[in-house]
Structure 1
Amino acid sequence: MVRRQCVCGAPLHGLDTQGPQMFGFIPSSSLAHYNYDCAFDTGVTLPGGRIFEHCLTCGAMVLCEYPTLDGSLRGDDPLITYGPGTVYEQCDIASVPVTYRSFRALMSSGVTGGVMYSQAFRTNLAQLFQTDEHHMPSWKIAKDAMLDPVNNALDEWWYASIGRNFIVLYEDSQVLHIVSAWHRIPGTAIKNSDIVRINGLNSDPLRVHARDTIEMAAESELEIPDERRSVLGIGNHARLRLIDSGIRVGHIMRELASWSSPDALARGVRLFKDDAVSQLTDTSFGIRHAVVRDGDTDEQVDLLMRHDVVAKVTCTCAAAQAKHICAHIVAMVLDIARRYRFRIVLPKSTDDNAPRTLTRKRGAHTDIDETMYGHYADAIDVMREHTPDGPRYDWLTAYIEPFETPSAPLYHVEFLTEGALAMHNVGYCVYNEVVLSFVDLVINQGDKDYARTLRHYGLDKDVSIPILNVDTLDAALIAALITMIVYRERRNEGYLAECLENGIIVRLLKRMREVDGDEADLI
């Protein structure tokens, strides 16, 4: 069955879909984007690959026909449970069962993992490699580009897990940071005849215990409050605005002063202090939306985060439409920092009337008038062999306040029945957004060779931290210990929660800040 109309009544176009509403999915099991140097368009034609059409009216995902290179039938495909025409309704992240929120649960679930991308990602990738969408790089090359931190603003691709009942998009597969989710609408599923036959031939006695078969709300429609539906709709439209007129940033949110102009920074600080930011909310696809009151005008601001980096922003004001970071974006970033208790580093003065100078310490004070020298100021510092001030580990110590006085619980435990006939439950630890951001940063910026660093200090890779005198540790050892905690969480789920609960991580971070020094002005 091929749908020409969504459940909401909007028209659908199937494989003829073009633009940001087309989503391609390539499963990891095909190894298309890991090992084989196959053509970009070949990925979704391999077993398990598929294409979805995102309804721009209601946000639903509709499974299209199985694409093939020559138009022939797909053949046996045990990775596909339901056929073309199945509709997945966009739902709140809170509705996603623990199956998709825990490494232990996900690894034993039987769901299909892979990469999902939109047509807009193809456009971004083509621009990166200075080609067109008919001459795309292979998936092996695309994968390297996706994972390169330099391309953190190369958005519109996600890690994904697709089960019988849910589609879940992640910002990072190593962290399981969920950004969007959809739930299958009962009654729209078209059973795949091939999988019925394959399952009949499957003699594995444990197949009925797959976690995917006992997903929450498997056969009933989810109840999504109208208010949350509205927020998800805002996120879908915000995504289109970011694609159409977004400003690429590619910088860490806490380094706001480095990617906004002094005028926008000063005005944004005033708006923030006047409580001009309202309706700040997490929508979908990792996008945050806010309304900023500026005089008699309400400006709509959208911000996309990827891996703790501001990938894209947009605002309805004239300055942002002209591709300039505006005061409304600045105010929103400061409000996000206030919500999650992050500290934003600001210049010594954000007063419009104050002279803008770059003060550096090297023996005596040296003032460089930035208005006179412009971009040459950095060159002068280089010629003087100046080492920039500021902590080296501020990306870690910024989490002291969010962990010590969190605005919401840092984690909670959910339970999932172990097997269809089992008499006991298994608990899984689910972390909130702040902790997931911390894990993401440590994995990407932490000590990759932490085990060797620990051995250098005569410590085992699983050393018990309470036996150490934290007040005497240096920065390199602290960084290695923090990285150890994060990686140990993968092997021993709940260990990170234990370290948060007993204050070990906060103690390490405070010692890190003490060693590093922290002299910047903060808000």
Structure 2
Amino acid sequence: MVRRQCVCGGPLKGLRHTGPEMFGFIPSSSLAHYNYDCSFEMGVTLPGGRVLEQCPNCGAMVLCEYPTLDGSLRGDDPLITYGPGTVYEQCDIDAVPVTYRSFRALMSSGVTGGIMYSGAFRTNLAEVFGTTEDKLPSWKVVKDAVRDPMHNTMDEWWYASIGRNFIVLYENSKVLLPVSAWHRIPGTEIKNANIVRINELNTDPLRVHALDTVEMTISEQALDIPDERRRALALGNSARKRMLDSAIHVGRKLRDLPQWASPESLERGTALIRDGHVDSLIETAFGIRHIEVHDGERTEQVDILMRHDVLAKAVCTCADAQAKRICPHIVVAVLEMARYYSFRILIPQDRLPVRSHRSSDAVAVEDQGDNYNHYVDVVAMVREERNARPDYRWLSSFIEPFTMGDKPLYHVEFMDSAVMGLPSVGYCVYSKTVLGFIDLVINRGDEDYLDTMRDYGLDKDVHLDILNVDSMDARLLCALITMAVYRERRNEGFLAECLENGQLVRMLRRLRALDGEAPQGGQ
């Protein structure tokens, strides 16, 4: 069945349409089979590949016809449970079952993982490679490009997991940090005839109680989200399209705000946040955060997109931002983001007026010593020398979120297996703060951490509680922290144990002391 109308009544344009509403999905298994060395156009025609169209009215995803190179039918694809016409309603990330938020659960669930991208991603790629959209490079080349930190503003692609009942997008497949989700609307699907035939041949009496067939029932109450949250999702959908048209490509780290914002924007932004002219940060869809800033008689709408620890894009309704300048309202959004996640942003005193020191608990003022201005050239030279050595503030900045946050850092969810005659299985689900930490360590940590540990005579499964953290140097500490993060994937709950017994925080405090940011006791 081909839909020309969404369940909400909104118009659909179908497979031949191009643009940001069209999404392609390519399973990792298909790409691995071809070693990624297949043409970009061929990607969605591989087994398991599919195209979805997002409804401009309600944000639902509608499965289109299966694209093929020769126009043949592909309705019997064994990787596809439901066929064209199936509608997936946008839902809150918190409603996503544990299957999609735990590596252990995901790997045993049969969910298909891969890469999902919008039609706008094609335009981004063409600009990067200096070509046209009909002459894009192979997926092997594209894969290397999207992983390059230089291209952190080249968004509109996500890692994705598509199961029988849910579509979930992630910023990073190694972290499982969800940024958007949709659930299947029962009654809209056409079952794959091949799947039906296989099920008829299946004589297992317990197959009807399989966990993936009851996940919608288990999640039913959580899927009924309030109108306020629906409005937030709609904000994210519209903000994504605004970013494609008029966003400022920042591509700078959040904590480096003083380096890429002008003194005027810093001063005005800190004044606005100090005087309470900002509404709470709203997490919308596709990883976009939305903030409203009241500036005089106007209320400016600000949307920011993060990729890892980098502010990739920002858009604001004010005239400065429309002229592609970092405005005070974007500064407010970054500071509010830091306050929301309990991070510190160091702003040099010479870039922020004294009266603004009380602006926010997310802002810390760096005292340079006004009595020694005649040494400014020497100080600058010393700082340049210091920055040449490894800097671990990106790690130690997590001390406050891990020790002072008012929200739990993790919790355990149980997947009920009683219907299959098995005991309930518990899975560890981490907060967004911990997932952000994992993401940073994977992307910026010690890639050769195992070699580093061997240099110090340590095994990859060493028990952290037997080590004397206070005597370690920064190189070994960074390697051990990286080890703990990677160990989480094969030993679920290990990182939670390190948080619970304080071992991780002790290592971070030792790093802060070595960096000279604070006494070893930390905050």
Query: Counterparts of 1:430 and 1:135 in 2: how far apart (Å)?
Result: 42
* Runs of 5+ consecutive residues of structure 2 not aligned to the other structure: 356-366, 519-523
Query: Counterparts of 2:240 and 2:171 in 1: how far apart (Å)?
Result: 15
Post-superposition offset of 1:509: 0.5
Contact 1:339–1:407 under 8 Å retained in 2 = no
Query: Counterparts of 1:113 and 1:464 in 2: how far apart (Å)?
Result: 33
In structure 1, the partner of 2:495 is: 496
SS at match of 1:134: helix
Query: Counterparts of 1:308 and 1:394 in 2: how far apart (Å)?
Result: 13
SS at match of 1:514: helix
Query: Counterparts of 1:151 and 1:198 in 2: how far apart (Å)?
Result: 44
Post-superposition offset of 1:391: 7.1
In structure 1, the partner of 2:276 is: 275
* Runs of 5+ consecutive residues of structure 1 not aligned to the other structure: 370-376
Post-superposition offset of 1:353: 10
Contact 1:340–1:407 under 8 Å retained in 2 = no
In structure 1, the partner of 2:435 is: 436
- Relative to structure 1, the CA distance from residue 455 to residue 413 in structure 2 (aligned partners, 3 Å threshold; closer, same or farther) is same
Post-superposition offset of 1:351: 4.0
Query: Counterparts of 1:32 and 1:500 in 2: how far apart (Å)?
Result: 36
Post-superposition offset of 1:368: 5.7
In structure 2, the partner of 1:505 is: 504
In structure 1, the partner of 2:60 is: 60
SS at match of 1:9: coil
Contact 1:269–1:350 under 8 Å retained in 2 = no
Per-residue CA deviation, residues 222-279 of structure 1 (Å, 9 max, x unaligned), is 3121111111001111111111111111111111112211211111111111121103
Q: Cα RMSD (Å) of the superposition? A: 2.8
SS at match of 1:496: helix
- Relative to structure 1, the CA distance from residue 200 to residue 141 in structure 2 (aligned partners, 3 Å threshold; closer, same or farther) is farther
Query: Counterparts of 2:114 and 2:421 in 1: how far apart (Å)?
Result: 30
**Aligned pair 1:344/2:353, yes or no?**
no
SS at match of 1:311: strand
- Relative to structure 1, the CA distance from residue 33 to residue 359 in structure 2 (aligned partners, 3 Å threshold; closer, same or farther) is farther
Post-superposition offset of 1:417: 2.4
In structure 1, the partner of 2:300 is: 299
In structure 1, the partner of 2:363 is: none
Q: Higher mean Cα deviation, 124-133 or 26-35?
A: 26-35
Per-residue CA deviation, residues 446-471 of structure 1 (Å, 9 max, x unaligned), is 11121221121122211111112211
Post-superposition offset of 1:484: 1.1
Post-superposition offset of 1:34: 6.8
Contact 2:121–2:156 under 8 Å retained in 1 = yes
In structure 2, the partner of 1:461 is: 460
Matches within 5 A, 1:38-53: 38-53=38-53
SS at match of 2:324: coil
In structure 2, the partner of 1:87 is: 87
Matches within 5 A, 1:69-80: 69-74=69-74, 76-80=76-80
Give the counterpart letter for 2:500 in structure 1: E
SS at match of 1:154: coil
Contact 2:102–2:428 under 8 Å retained in 1 = yes
In structure 2, the partner of 1:517 is: 516
Q: TM-score, normalised by structure 1?
A: 0.91
SS at match of 1:30: helix
- Relative to structure 1, the CA distance from residue 388 to residue 13 in structure 2 (aligned partners, 3 Å threshold; closer, same or farther) is same
**Aligned pair 1:407/2:416, yes or no?**
no
**Aligned pair 1:153/2:153, yes or no?**
yes
Query: Counterparts of 1:291 and 1:41 in 2: how far apart (Å)?
Result: 40
**Aligned pair 1:256/2:265, yes or no?**
no
Matches within 5 A, 1:8-157: 8-31=8-31, 35-74=35-74, 76-157=76-157
Q: Higher mean Cα deviation, 325-334 or 460-469?
A: 460-469
Query: Counterparts of 2:454 and 2:32 in 1: how far apart (Å)?
Result: 38
Query: Counterparts of 2:314 and 2:108 in 1: how far apart (Å)?
Result: 38
Contact 1:211–1:419 under 8 Å retained in 2 = no
Query: Counterparts of 1:464 and 1:155 in 2: how far apart (Å)?
Result: 39
In structure 2, the partner of 1:374 is: none
Instruction: Report how many aligned residue pairs link the two structures.
Output: 506
Post-superposition offset of 1:385: 7.8
Contact 1:30–1:48 under 8 Å retained in 2 = yes
Post-superposition offset of 1:472: 1.2
In structure 2, the partner of 1:395 is: 394
In structure 1, the partner of 2:229 is: 228
In structure 1, the partner of 2:244 is: 243
Post-superposition offset of 1:154: 1.1
Give the counterpart letter for 2:444 in structure 1: Q
- Relative to structure 1, the CA distance from residue 291 to residue 34 in structure 2 (aligned partners, 3 Å threshold; closer, same or farther) is farther
Post-superposition offset of 1:82: 0.6
SS at match of 1:83: coil
Q: TM-score, normalised by structure 2?
A: 0.91
Contact 1:33–1:139 under 8 Å retained in 2 = no
Q: Higher mean Cα deviation, 230-239 or 23-32?
A: 23-32
Query: Counterparts of 1:218 and 1:72 in 2: how far apart (Å)?
Result: 38
Query: Counterparts of 2:238 and 2:208 in 1: how far apart (Å)?
Result: 40
Question: Identity of counterpart residues, as a percentage?
Answer: 65
Give the counterpart letter for 2:484 in structure 1: I
Q: Higher mean Cα deviation, 63-72 or 33-42?
A: 33-42
Give the counterpart letter for 1:172 in structure 2: N
Query: Counterparts of 1:351 and 1:510 in 2: how far apart (Å)?
Result: 28
Contact 2:75–2:83 under 8 Å retained in 1 = no
Structure with more helix by fraction: 2
Give the counterpart letter for 1:476 in structure 2: R
SS at match of 2:496: helix
Query: Counterparts of 1:194 and 1:365 in 2: how far apart (Å)?
Result: 80
Give the counterpart letter for 1:243 in structure 2: L
Query: Counterparts of 1:311 and 1:6 in 2: how far apart (Å)?
Result: 32
Contact 1:359–1:366 under 8 Å retained in 2 = no
Contact 1:23–1:117 under 8 Å retained in 2 = yes
Query: Counterparts of 1:498 and 1:195 in 2: how far apart (Å)?
Result: 42
Give the counterpart letter for 2:289 in structure 1: R
Q: Higher mean Cα deviation, 284-293 or 11-20?
A: 11-20
- Relative to structure 1, the CA distance from residue 329 to residue 303 in structure 2 (aligned partners, 3 Å threshold; closer, same or farther) is same
Per-residue CA deviation, residues 4-54 of structure 1 (Å, 9 max, x unaligned), is 001111110110222100000001121269714111010101110000000
